[in-house]
A and B are shown apart, each in its own frame.
Chain A
């Protein structure tokens, strides 16, 4: 009701733009008593198919206004609930004023409601279009339907605007459509299934997140026809290229009001990850979930699986991938969602390292190492989530995640150093199973009292079987190898973890400005860790047991805790201090003999201060004391082989690591001025840490975990500033991180300093017609130093990205980066260039799409990289996939 008047205005103005040869028909719609009728629909349906339907809704004084093409025949149809419909032909030669009088209908209201569905209904903040009035029957997808509705515009990508306002969310039958991304629905929902299109104005769900509280946000709801409430859509992409490159990528969606299914398949040897991070977010519940739980995004993106989606460098990569996702509404209050991901892959990598080993801060040994690795891996990831919300006051969620993985890898390693040459082969066969279960219950007793209870149980079993073959004996003094070269060593590692926890948090509202949240919980973890290293000598084995190898470690940790958080608001400042008391007790045993049985109390303070200066300006301060126990492998105090040149021994004496963490973050933006600032400061000071004490000789090292209070501090600051001027955006950002720490190497404590500074300057364009480019310059400086040793690197990367939509149907994309590495200590420079390009053609409204894609245009064979730590300065060449050329064809179902 509210928007009617303005809507009319909007429609009118919209139509002014559209027609140049236009005449105005205006007047009033009245009832038989000459009283104006508000919200009456006035439709002008042209007899010529070339012309568009015109339409107006009367305002509160009964006025309507139509802009019609000159000398064209229109049929004017006026409908109003409870009145007889008027249908009258009109041809305009000049502007005309005409009043219409509607006769009351003698039909009952119910009959009217059934028979006379209005083509456009405006009520409060909702506009409803009945689509069958506007369509011609040739429409293929929802986008084609929307384009025919007055006031609705659809762009190429599938972004929808209604009266110039962007639709932020697409709902189908009142429910988020898969991801809530308008493009997926607009480009895929079959046109013949669409019954009504509802536009919900002032649908503010995401407005406040953008810092634009109170601003208008729109959602569009699609109502489906009876009998067409189920449909399938999807697309398939196939491609091939030089050197036997291929890919096939079908994706299929099934929609019904209660069941949503999404199946994605992918077979390729191009190295492209078929399953993207966005796909993963959809599987995890889509962006809706992230909106409701702001921590959700971080936890999804930090999960191990999401990390694996980040591309790493390889020479060859083949993927066979399948994923299945279902969301099922079991009842009005119960929702089930589940997914399974299955992936089989083969990855080949090759790296060349030049390692300079430092002992007492001097380069003692130089090693040239070449590593080639071929790994086959098969994993499955399944998740089930059951959500039950019987009332608004309580909800219950059960989540179970099952991960399995099986792999085998073969690695060939050549180590040439001033001391010795060794040729190593390594075969590994890791396998793992992990089951994670989680039950959360929220109950709101009253506004003042809400309780959340969480119970979880985890089971994990990891196995790894490794076979090494060496041409030279290794660790002569420590490993009693028998016989002649080649030497074969077999290692079996098995770790099992059973853990369970239970926690309760109570939200207690004391008054408008003070809340207190008591917490209470208990967690228990039981880990079994077994390692065995043996030499394989012909038909028998040579045990290293007597040399201090092999572990059968049991580690049990209990952690009861209680504490509270206090939340208060003082003006625009929210303070939230907290204090939790933990009481740890743990046991470590080796081969059944208890070695440690200890207990310890730990008080952990935390604080959060938020200052909401404005909705567009915020300052946050965070502090916490972090405590953490490492897993059983760190307590396993007997030796195991880590690599051909390193041995590791845990330490049963370890306790919890402890660190102070503080951060300050600030942001400010002004959309009005096109200005954005943000800055973050982080500081960590370790009180107690678990670090390696290293004994190094030549290229060989022996590491032992120690519980230490050696100083260790990290400080970092990041900031960025950007300004938008017309169609250009300029950004400057910088990053500094400083670390000071000490390590125990060859029984001497040495202090180290590692500093990193970087900045980026870039310009982006936002043209509508012209090609858009982003040009930037990144530079980073790394300095690593100890008392007597210094290493400096500079990395400089100018880059450019181009995106150009031309001739309506083509999209050209290209990117180029120039990479330069300078070792300032030695004045050595390495450069390489990376560039990729693609050209995509899709005639609008056609289901077919064609693409040519070239990766690694310059056919660069490796990337250069540098790293350093306390005893190795490392110059790495990572080999990458040679140039690929691919032709792709896609078809939309």
Chain B
């Protein structure tokens, strides 16, 4: 998978931005960067220092979304880290929510697949685009030259005793007709260029047109429906804590 990204990166690197969104039918590669909106309230001491160093590293994270009209693939870009920075980088990756995960969205088949490592075992978690219930909000702003609109949704994540819902606030661009976005967020009438969760913001840094892309096989791990997995995982977490 990593080879493939690297290969694409080399072969299809293209400086052309999208000329006209309406005529856009092909494949795109969107590079997302991450930033943290503000720091913890803690005083500037050891913990703060650790978090600040991690926030520094967050700027070095890059995610990539490969998409066409039918399907998309989202994952963290691989890179090698200096030994001295490894703990901060790992922290940054964990904060962004993208550590050891990747997403495949099929817009025509209405499927979202998440590859996820849970308690040391790989899982393939399946959900439907329709499961995300978007609230469209009549606010707009311009991101990278595109007019975007705001939408919010609650995503179920694994909590401690039960799943909890986390608020995502995203900005999508109807001019870019790809019903997908970062971290498996999909199903809006336009490409998601920015996503906010808590203090972490993921935003599109560049959009390129590419000729073709391959989606890696999602065959690692046990395949489960999201609800089924959430029940299973919640029970396992409860057992583990006992």
Contact = CB atoms under 8 A, between A and B. Distances in A.
A668 B84 CA distance: 25
Contacts of A768: 242
A450 B162 contact: no
B240 A512 contact: no
A597 interface: no
B79 A512 contact: yes
Contacts of A13: 161-162
B87 A125 contact: no
B87 A208 contact: yes
Contacts of A7: 164
Interface stretch (B19-27, B65-73, B114-122, B138-146): B114-122
Contacts of A288: 46
A791 interface: no
Given A124-B199, A514-B80, A671-B119, A615 B91 contact: no
B220 to A, nearest CB: 9
A1 B82 contact: no
Contacts of A126: 41
Contact of A392 (B56, B80, B121, B197): B56
A9 B154 CA distance: 15
Contacts of B3: 571
B78 interface: yes
Contact of B120 (A200, A507, A568, A672): A672
Contact of B236 (A204, A333, A672): A672
Interface residues of A, number: 70
A204 B159 contact: no
Nearest to A208: B90
A176 B46 contact: yes
Given A211-B120, A614-B117, A672-B120, A9 B78 contact: no
B184 to A, nearest CB: 14
Most buried by A among B46, B50, B165, B167: B46
A667 B205 CA distance: 38
Contacts of B159: 6, 10, 216
B122 to A, nearest CB: 7
Given A124-B199, A616-B117, A5 B154 contact: yes
User: Interface size for chain B: under 10, 10 to 19, 20 to 34, or 35 or more residues?
Assistant: 35 or more
A170 to B, nearest CB: 11
B84 A450 contact: yes
B45 A671 contact: no
A208 B43 contact: no
Given A200-B40, A213-B93, A671 B240 contact: yes
A478 to B, nearest CB: 53
Given A2-B198, A164-B241, A514-B80, A208 B162 contact: no
A125 B48 contact: no
Q: State the majority secondary structure of interface residues on B.
A: mixed
B77 A512 contact: yes
Interface string A208-231: 100111101001010000000000
A272 interface: no
Given A208-B99, A392-B53, A614-B122, A569 B161 contact: no
Nearest to B90: A208
Contact of B161 (A164, A389, A672): A164
Interface in A556-572: 567-569, 571-572
Nearest to A216: B160
Contacts of A568: 80
A291 B53 CA distance: 14
Interface in A425-482: 442, 447, 450, 452
Interface in A642-674: 668-673
Contact of B44 (A204, A212, A332, A571): A332
A3 B164 contact: yes
B84 to A, nearest CB: 7
Interface string B151-179: 00010000111111111000000000000
A2 B162 contact: no
Given A214-B97, A670-B119, A10 B161 contact: yes
B52 interface: yes
A329 interface: yes
A165 B117 CA distance: 20
Contacts of A212: 119
B94 interface: yes
Nearest to A207: B94
Nearest to B97: A214
A364 interface: no
B170 to A, nearest CB: 14
Contacts of B154: 5
B225 interface: no
Interface string B230-242: 0000001000111
Contacts of A513: 6, 78-80
A2 B166 contact: yes
Contacts of B44: 332-333
Interface in A487-528: 507, 509, 512-515
A359 interface: no
A166 B161 CA distance: 12
B197 A2 contact: yes
Contacts of A614: 100, 117, 120, 122
B120 A615 contact: yes
A617 B161 CA distance: 27
A671 B117 CA distance: 11
A5 B165 contact: yes
A571 B1 CA distance: 8
Contacts of B52: 392
Nearest to B59: A447
A600 interface: no
A635 B125 CA distance: 67
A205 B47 contact: yes
Contacts of A447: 60
B42 interface: yes
A174 to B, nearest CB: 3
A175 B43 contact: yes
Interface string B208-240: 000000000000000000000000000010001
A787 interface: no
Given A6-B163, A9-B162, A216-B159, 11 more contacts: A3-B164, A205-B47, A208-B90, A213-B90, A392-B53, A567-B80, A567-B83, A569-B80, A574-B80, A617-B120, A670-B121
- 8 nearest A-B pairs in the assembled complex, by CB-CB distance: A6-B164, A174-B42, A616-B120, A671-B119, A569-B80, A512-B79, A670-B120, A672-B119
Interface of B: 2-3, 6, 40-50, 52-53, 56, 60, 77-80, 82-84, 87, 90-91, 93-95, 97, 99-101, 117-122, 154, 159-167, 197-199, 236, 240-242
9 contacts: A9-B162, A10-B159, A164-B160, A175-B43, A200-B40, A213-B99, A507-B84, A616-B120, A672-B236
